[in-house]
């Protein structure tokens, strides 16, 4: 039997789904992304850009679809779902990792004793009513004793014994105790975190002070229980650096100096430089009469002024 | 800084809890911000990119005097206020006409930014073809060797993936794959990663003009029968088509980047499975129990000890020395057993 006709017609009907590239395509099925690292074919790029872009995109997507269809599937009401593997591309997170909740006193006790956490359902079965009722809250099971119309009273009860009040008080005290314990847990965790913060700050200050010496703390006196700092190296600038960077660093120093001068001027607006206090010099030269008088004496003539001076 | 809110009712508490950091994060919400002047092109580009990004998109329709590369405090504030972590800022100035800034945030602080100029824009409405359904996940296609070598293009790929496709999902309906976003780069003339420029903003204008153009294309996908399980894919243009040129960029601060790349601690089951390292004959079942498979050599049935009977015993004259020795041993053993029985 000759099947070549059938095969040929089949081939004509269905085009190829294979993609062949020099560098194999990098498919990240977890993010539905495909990366084609092959260099661009410049001829077809310059002749027809849109067609070229579409054909490369088609090839890439064909490879992605092929790997998506080879994934295991699970049924769902909307058709089969492909189960995706975790993505291989690493993208930065949007927010920092969630911090673990500090354990309560009970949780610490339970973990030490190996007590498993049991989830209590909110509804429990009421035998009398033959229905599910709330464990607590509206018409809760915990208010049963307060709501029932008849209560057994112990024989030695006082005259004014009120069973409803007793049950209610017991319930209220349980609620109060729970709240008190919750607040204690909160207070404990905040105190702990404060202490941790303070310890961290002390450690940081200690590290800074150690680094501040020329030997980077090598010859400092060690305290008891002081840990060795890790990852600390003296950093030397290279002896030869590009002229651009050298210029930059010099200019940075200069501008910083400039800034110092400006700041000094702002702080002492009418002082001169550090060596000569101009204000004081004028006062002594004019014998306390001020700069204007001194100026006037200068313009009147040198001889007179000198003769009038104190010998 | 926003004031910290203490929820007064359960609904507000749920809304605040939804903003808390999660181990597996949701899709990034993007805010589309207009600068002091946006031309027609930038307006349309932002409108159409928003159509692609919906429903995780917030539009700021008023103008804002904002320069992300000079002062990013507004971005920080908006990110925190709207619980958003991506920004697309559109601004058109004389110096930088038709500009778009794509910024990514970490913990309501700017992580990195990249600026594009829109050279050519073809709108969605110019193609009379079927469009994708809003909210469907796009497939992404990147085509250039620069996406693996050049720091600017590595950043671009990471930003665009984060913008469109960052949500980690465990399964997807294959019928719902409707459109693709294809990002290609023009041929690079002697540009590669080794001689590549640093990602800082100290780049001169000649260096920027050397960076090849980026072509962003959107297509819809048609799946045709191929005779096999895998369908044959045909694309038809959907729009928008963008030709972008890279402008300024701001690389991520190394410390912030390191904090952003932290991964959650692995679950016990994954750790025991070996975390990608192949561990032979071991598997962890759903309950977290480690199960091993033990292979034993084939049992030699000739040496199997069957029931002992007098008639099967090798006689003193039969067999070779070895068998007689064995027989002796057996005899001793049986004697002992007898003795034990008697005692």
Q: DSSP string of B93-140?
A: -SSS-SEEEEEEEETTEEEEEEEEEEEEEE-GGGS-S--PPTTPPPEE
Beta pairing, strands B57-63 & B30-34: parallel
Cα A188 from chain centre: 24
Local confidence band at B321 (pLDDT 50, 70, 90 cut-offs):
very low
Residue of B31 and B312 predicted with greater confidence? B31
- At B148 the three-state DSSP class reads helix
Give the H/E segment covering residue A267: helix A243-267
Q: Which residue has the tokens 């003539």?
A: A301
Q: Which of A62, A79, A97 sits opposite B264 (nearest CB)?
A: A97
Encoding tokens for residue A254?
């200069």
Please compute the mean of the pLDDT values over residues B134-140 and round it to a whole number: 91
Asked if A61 and B137 come within 8 Å (Cβ–Cβ), the reply is no
**Could you give the CA distance from residue B92 to residue B161 in angstroms, rounded to a whole number?**
25
Spatial neighbors of A18 by CB under 8 A, at least 6 apart, are none
B269: exposed, middle or buried (Cβ count in 10 Å: 0-12, 13-18, 19+): middle
**Could you give the CA distance from residue A43 to residue B312 in angstroms, rounded to a whole number?**
89
Local confidence band at B193 (pLDDT 50, 70, 90 cut-offs):
very low
Predicted local distance difference test score (pLDDT) of residue A77: 84
Give the H/E segment covering residue A25: none
Other CB atoms closer than 10 Å to residue B108's CB: what's the count? 19
Predicted local distance difference test score (pLDDT) of residue B342: 45
B152: exposed, middle or buried (Cβ count in 10 Å: 0-12, 13-18, 19+): buried
- How many contacts, defined by CB atoms under 8 Å, are there between A and B? 196
Distances (CA, A) of A133 to A142, A149, A251: 10, 18, 79
Predicted local distance difference test score (pLDDT) of residue B337: 47
Which residues on A lie below 8 Å from B219 (Cβ)? Answer: 54, 57
Please compute the mean of the pLDDT values over residues B62-80 and round it to a whole number: 92
Predicted local distance difference test score (pLDDT) of residue B256: 93
* 3-state percent breakdown (helix, strand, coil) of chain A, nearest 5: 50, 5, 45
Residue of A231 and B238 predicted with greater confidence? B238
Which residues on A lie below 8 Å from B185 (Cβ)? Answer: 40
Chain B CA closest to residue A60: B141
CA atoms within 13 Å, Cβ hemisphere of B273: 12
Asked if A92 and B25 come within 8 Å (Cβ–Cβ), the reply is no
Q: Which domains does chain B have, with CATH numbers?
A: 27-252 (3.40.50.10480)
Q: Which residue has the tokens 């789904």?
A: A17
Local confidence band at B195 (pLDDT 50, 70, 90 cut-offs):
very low
Predicted local distance difference test score (pLDDT) of residue A183: 95
Instruction: Give the CA angle between residues B152, A88, B103 to the nearest 5°.
Output: 35
Q: Which residue has the tokens 């007689």?
A: B324
Q: Which residue has the tokens 């693709």?
A: B180
A233–chain B nearest CA distance, Å: 18
Chain A CA closest to residue B17: A98
Question: Whats the size of chain B, residue-wise?
Answer: 343
Residue of B143 and B200 predicted with greater confidence? B143
Report the sign of the C-alpha dihedral through residues B284, B287, B292, B298, in that order. negative
- At B316 the three-state DSSP class reads coil
Spatial neighbors of B251 by CB under 8 A, at least 6 apart, are B112, B151, B155, B198, B199, B200
Q: Which of B107, B168, B174 sits opposite A80 (nearest CB)?
A: B174
Question: Which region among A19-23, B107-111, B270-274 has the lowest average model confidence (pLDDT)?
Answer: B270-274
Which one, of B50, B51, B48, B93, lies nearest residue B68 by Cα? Answer: B93
Residue of B45 and A307 predicted with greater confidence? B45
Predicted local distance difference test score (pLDDT) of residue B170: 86
Local confidence band at B3 (pLDDT 50, 70, 90 cut-offs):
confident
pLDDT in tens, chain A (311 residues): 677 777 777 666 666 677 777 778 889 998 999 998 888 888 888 888 889 999 999 999 999 999 999 999 888 888 888 988 888 889 999 999 988 888 999 999 999 999 998 998 999 999 988 999 999 999 899 999 898 899 888 889 888 999 999 999 999 999 999 999 999 999 999 998 899 999 999 988 888 888 888 888 778 787 787 777 777 777 787 888 899 999 998 999 998 887 767 776 666 555 555 678 888 888 888 888 888 888 887 787 554 444 444 54
A77-96 residues touching B, CB cutoff 8 A = 78-84, 86-87, 89-96
Residue of B266 and B159 predicted with greater confidence? B159
Residue B134 in this model has a pLDDT that exceeds 50: yes
Burial B44-70 (b: 16+ CB within 10 A, else e): bbbebbbebbeebbbebeeeeebebbe
Other CB atoms closer than 10 Å to residue B74's CB: what's the count? 16
B173–chain A nearest CA distance, Å: 4
A9-68 residues touching B, CB cutoff 8 A = 10, 13-17, 23, 30-40, 42, 45, 49-50, 53-54, 56-58, 60-62, 64-66, 68
């Amino acid at each position: 039997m000759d099947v070549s006709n059938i095969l040929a017609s089949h081939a004509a009907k269905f085009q190829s789904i294979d993609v062949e590239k020099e560098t194999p395509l990098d498919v990240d099925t977890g993010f539905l992304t495909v990366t084609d690292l092959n260099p661009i074919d410049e001829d077809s790029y310059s002749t027809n850009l849109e067609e070229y872009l579409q054909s490369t995109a088609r090839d890439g997507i064909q490879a992605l679809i092929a790997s998506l269809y080879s994934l295991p599937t699970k049924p769902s009401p909307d058709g089969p779902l492909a189960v995706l593997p975790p993505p291989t591309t690493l993208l930065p997170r949007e927010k920092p990792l969630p911090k673990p909740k500090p354990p309560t006193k009970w949780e610490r006790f339970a973990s030490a004793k190996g007590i498993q956490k049991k989830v209590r359902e909110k509804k429990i079965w009421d035998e009398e009513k033959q229905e599910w009722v709330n464990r607590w809250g509206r018409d809760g099971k915990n208010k049963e004793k307060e709501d029932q119309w008849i209560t057994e009273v112990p024989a030695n009860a006082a005259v004014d014994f009120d069973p409803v009040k007793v049950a209610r008080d017991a319930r209220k005290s349980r609620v109060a105790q729970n709240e008190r314990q919750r607040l204690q847990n909160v207070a404990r965790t905040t105190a702990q975190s404060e202490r941790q913060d303070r310890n961290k700050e002390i450690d940081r200050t200690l590290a800074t002070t150690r680094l501040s010496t020329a030997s980077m703390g090598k010859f400092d006196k060690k305290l008891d229980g002081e840990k060795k700092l890790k990852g600390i190296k003296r950093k030397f600038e290279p002896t030869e650096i590009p002229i651009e960077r050298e210029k930059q660093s010099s200019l940075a120093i200069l501008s910083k100096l400039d800034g110092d001068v400006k700041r000094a001027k702002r702080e002492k607006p009418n002082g001169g430089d550090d060596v000569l206090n101009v204000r004081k010099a004028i006062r002594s030269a004019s014998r306390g009469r001020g700069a204007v008088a001194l100026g006037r004496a200068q313009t009147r003539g040198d001889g007179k002024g000198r003769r009038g001076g104190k010998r | 800084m926003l004031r910290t809110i203490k929820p007064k009712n359960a609904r507000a508490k749920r809304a605040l809890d939804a903003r808390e950091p999660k181990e597996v994060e949701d899709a990034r919400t993007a805010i589309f911000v207009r600068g002091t002047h946006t031309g027609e092109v930038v307006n349309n580009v932002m409108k159409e990119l928003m159509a692609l990004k919906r429903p995780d998109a917030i539009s700021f329709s008023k103008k804002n005097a904002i320069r992300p590369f000079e002062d990013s405090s507004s971005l920080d504030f908006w990110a925190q206020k709207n619980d958003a972590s991506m920004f697309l800022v559109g601004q058109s100035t004389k110096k930088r006409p038709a500009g778009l800034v794509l910024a990514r945030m970490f913990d309501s602080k700017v992580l990195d930014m990249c600026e594009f100029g829109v050279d050519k824009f073809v709108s969605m409405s110019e193609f009379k073809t079927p469009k994708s359904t809003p909210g469907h996940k796009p497939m992404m296609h990147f085509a250039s060797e620069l996406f693996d070598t050049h720091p600017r293009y590595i950043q671009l790929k990471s930003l665009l993936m984060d913008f469109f496709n960052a949500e980690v999902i465990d399964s997807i309906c294959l019928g719902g794959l409707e459109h693709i976003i294809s990002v290609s780069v023009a041929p690079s003339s002697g540009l590669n990663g080794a001689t590549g420029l640093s990602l800082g903003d100290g780049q001169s204008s000649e260096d920027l003009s050397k960076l090849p153009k980026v072509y962003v294309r959107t297509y819809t996908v048609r799946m045709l029968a191929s005779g096999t399980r895998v369908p044959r894919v045909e694309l038809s243009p959907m729009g928008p088509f963008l030709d972008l040129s890279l402008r300024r960029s701001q690389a991520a601060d190394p410390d912030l980047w390191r904090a952003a790349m932290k991964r959650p601690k692995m679950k016990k089951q994954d750790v025991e499975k070996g975390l990608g390292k192949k561990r032979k004959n071991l598997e962890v079942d759903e309950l977290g129990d480690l199960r091993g498979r033990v292979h034993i050599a084939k049992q030699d049935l000739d040496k199997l000890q069957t029931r002992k009977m007098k008639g099967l015993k090798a006689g003193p004259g039969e067999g070779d020395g070895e068998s007689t020795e064995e027989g002796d041993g057996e005899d001793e053993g049986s004697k002992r057993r007898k003795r034990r029985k008697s005692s």
